[in-house]
Amino acid sequence: MKTPVPEEMQPVASGPAVGVNEPVSSMPDMKMDAPLVPVQLTPERMQSIGVRTGTVEYKQLNDDIRATGTVDINERLLSYVQVRFSGYIRKVFANATYQYVRKGEPLFTIYSPDLVATQQEYLLARQNQEAMRASTVDGVAAGAAALATAAEQRLQQWDIPEAEIAKLKETGRPVVDLTINSPVEGYITERNAMPNMYAEPATKLYTVADLSRVWVDAQVFQNDIGRVRPGDATQITVDSYPGRVFTGRIEEILPQVDMATRTVRVRLAMANPGLKLKPGMFVNVDLKTSLGRQLTVPASSVFQSGTRQLVFLNRGNGRLEPQEITVGPRVGDDFVVLKGLKAHESIVTSASFLIDSESQLQAAAGSFAATSPSTASTTPASAAQTNIDFSSDPNPPQKGNNVFRVKLTDAGGSPTVGAEVTVTFYMASMPAMGMTAMNATTRLVDKGNGAYEGTGSLGSGGTWQVTISVQKSGQVIATKQLHVNATGGM
C-alpha cells in the first residue's frame, strides 16, 4: 500500500504564464531564491502565526564539541631495549608482554665473545700500565696508559654499566654473563628476547611504554575542526567508570581528513592516574572551545532559503523587512553573525518560514508589497469595493491542466468588465527537502459580463497559495489570497 505524502511535505512546481491561446508547458519554470519584499502584518495576524521578536546582541561564547576517541600509547614515552654488541641471550627475567618493570630491574643476561675479549684486553692493558709505570724510557709509561684508557672507553661505548666496569677492576676477572637492566619504568608492550637467542645491535629486544600519561585520538568532524585549537581544555568519560572525568589538553590537530568518515584526528594529552585508561579503550570526548565575544542571533531567527540566509528585521507597527546575512558556526541556541546585522537591532525570532512564504508570495504577485501610510493612500478606493469569486475545473484543481475562472462584481453586484486578471499559484521553497520556490501564473481572458477564464498547468499536487490580482487602467483595483489543495500527488 502506498503511503500518502502529507500536503506540507509535497513538492511544489511553477510554470510559465499560460493564456487561453497559449500552449501549456510540460515542465514548470523553477526559480531559485524568489525575491523578497517587506511584509506588513496586522497585530492579529502576527499573533495567529506566533511571531516573536528578539535583539541582536554580543555574547561571550563558549562551546562544547562532542566526539568519540580511542586511548593510545604516548609515543614520546616509549623506550627500546637493545645491545651494542653481538651475543647470546642466556637467562630471561622479563618474560611476558605487558609485564611491569621498574627502572634498573634486570631484564636478561647475555654472553658475548667480543665483550669477553675486550674485557681481557682491558685487564691486560691495566697490568702493562702498572708494570711500565716506573719505566725511565720516554713514552713507554704513557703508551701503556693510553692502551688501558682506550680499552675502557670501548667498554663505555658499548654501554657497559659503570658498576660492571668497577667490578672488573676490582676482581680482575671478565664478566661472562652480563646482566642488562631496564633503562626506564613502564610496561613491556613488545618482547623479542628469548633464551639462547643470538642478538645483534639491530635487534629490538624490548619495547617499554610509560602509561602514566597517554594519548587520546579524538575523531572530530571537519565542520567543527576550525573551532578547536592546540592547548584547549578537554574532558573525557569512559563507560567503565561512571561519573569519573579525566582532564587534559589538545596537543595536536593532525593534518589529514579520513575520507570515509570526514573526520580529523585530534590528539589529546591525558594524565592516567591509576592506569585507568587502557590503550585501545573507547572514550567519549568533550572539547571545550572559546570563540570570544561574538555578535549573535537566536538560531530560530535564521531562515535558510536556498543559497541565502535571512532574518526579518522588526521595523515596528507590524512591518517586517527581510535582511540577507552571513552566519558563522552555531553555538548552542545561537548563530554567530559575520555580516548583515548590527547590535541591538530588533529581529523576528519565530515563524520565519511563514513570514518568508508571505514575503515571496507578495513578491511573486507583484501587488502585495508592504506599503507605508503615504503610499497606501494611492490605492484606488474601488479596490475595497470589487468582489472576487474564484473557481476551477476540475474543482479542486489537479496536477496538470486546469481551467481557472474568476467572477468580478462591484459592491452593488454589477459585473466588472475590461479588467486584467492574473492568477498566481505559489509555494515557498523547502530547503530541508532540496525544494526551491516555484510558481505558475495564468492570465485570464475577459469572457464578458464580469467573467474571466484561462487555462494553466500545475506541476504537482499539494497545497498552493493562490493570489488573484485585478488591474484596470494600469492600477490594481482588487486582490485576493487563498489556499487551494491540488490533487494528483507529485
128-157 pLDDT, tens digit each: 877 776 565 656 667 777 888 888 888 888
Distant-in-sequence, close-in-space partners of 12: CB < 8 Å, separation ≥ 6: 427, 428, 430, 435, 437, 438, 459, 460, 462, 464
The mean predicted confidence, pLDDT, of the chain is 81
- Please answer whether residues 426 and 14 qualify as being in contact, where contact means their C-beta atoms are separated by less than 8 angstroms: yes
pLDDT for 163: 84
Give the class (CATH, top level) of 52-74+211-350.
Answer: mainly beta
pLDDT for 238: 94
- Over residues 254-279, the mean pLDDT reads 93
CB-based burial label for 243 (10 Å; 0-12, 13-18, 19+) = exposed
Tens digits of per-residue pLDDT, 383-402?
Answer: 447 889 999 999 889 888 99
Q: Which residue has the higher pLDDT, 181 or 428?
A: 181
Tens digits of per-residue pLDDT, 440-472?
Answer: 889 999 999 999 999 999 888 888 888 888 888
Tens digits of per-residue pLDDT, 351-375?
Answer: 666 666 666 555 555 543 333 333 3
pLDDT for 4: 46
- Over residues 312-317, the mean pLDDT reads 87
Residue 284, amino acid: N
For the chain, percent of residues with pLDDT exceeding 90: 40
Give the CATH H-level superfamily of domain 7-42+372-486. Immunoglobulins (2.60.40.10)
DSSP symbol at 106: E
pLDDT for 194: 95
User: Is the dihedral angle over the CA atoms 50, 319, 389, 367 positive or is it negative?
Assistant: negative
**Is residue 490's pLDDT more than 70?**
no
**Is residue 56's pLDDT more than 50?**
yes
pLDDT for 11: 41
Query: Which of the four pLDDT bands, split at 50, 70 and 90, describes residue 1?
Result: very low
pLDDT for 353: 63
Spell out where 369-433 has E strands.
Answer: 387-393, 400-409, 420-427
Tens digits of per-residue pLDDT, 399-445?
Answer: 889 999 999 998 888 899 999 999 988 776 655 556 666 678 899 99
Q: Which residue has the higher pLDDT, 19 or 480?
A: 480
Residue 420, amino acid: E
- Over residues 29-48, the mean pLDDT reads 66
**Is residue 317's pLDDT more than 70?**
yes
Task: Sheet containing 100-101: give its strands across.
Answer: 78-81, 206-209, 186-191, 100-101
Spell out where 261-349 has E strands.
Answer: 263-271, 282-298, 303-305, 308-316, 319-331, 334-339, 346-348
pLDDT for 78: 94
Query: Which of the four pLDDT bands, split at 50, 70 and 90, describes residue 348?
Result: confident
Q: Which residue has the higher pLDDT, 132 or 117?
A: 117
- Over residues 184-207, the mean pLDDT reads 94
pLDDT for 45: 76
pLDDT for 278: 93
SS3 category, 239: coil
pLDDT for 138: 58
pLDDT for 80: 94
pLDDT for 64: 85
Sorted by where each begins, the domain ranges of the chain are 7-42+372-486, 52-74+211-350, 76-209
pLDDT for 6: 43
pLDDT for 432: 56
Alpha carbons 132 and 153: distance in angstroms, whole number: 21
**Is residue 28's pLDDT more than 50?**
no
- Over residues 47-70, the mean pLDDT reads 87
CA 195-197-199 angle, 5° bins: 125
Question: What's the distance, CA 7 to chain centroid?
Answer: 32
pLDDT for 281: 95
Distant-in-sequence, close-in-space partners of 432: CB < 8 Å, separation ≥ 6: none
DSSP symbol at 460: S
- Please answer whether residues 12 and 438 qualify as being in contact, where contact means their C-beta atoms are separated by less than 8 angstroms: yes
pLDDT for 354: 65
pLDDT for 23: 37
Please give the CATH number for the structural domain made up of 76-209: 2.40.50.100
Least confident of 35-44, 173-182, 298-307, 408-417: 35-44
Query: Which of the four pLDDT bands, split at 50, 70 and 90, describes residue 25?
Result: very low
User: Is the dihedral angle over the CA atoms 218, 223, 228, 229 positive or is it negative?
Assistant: positive
- Cα dist. 138→126, 134, 135, 143, 276 in Å? 19, 11, 8, 10, 68
Query: Which of the four pLDDT bands, split at 50, 70 and 90, describes residue 330?
Result: confident
Cis peptide leading into 106, omega within 30 of 0? Answer: no
- Taking phi first (over 0 means left), then psi (-120 to 50 degrees means alpha), and beta for anything else, what does residue 186 get? left
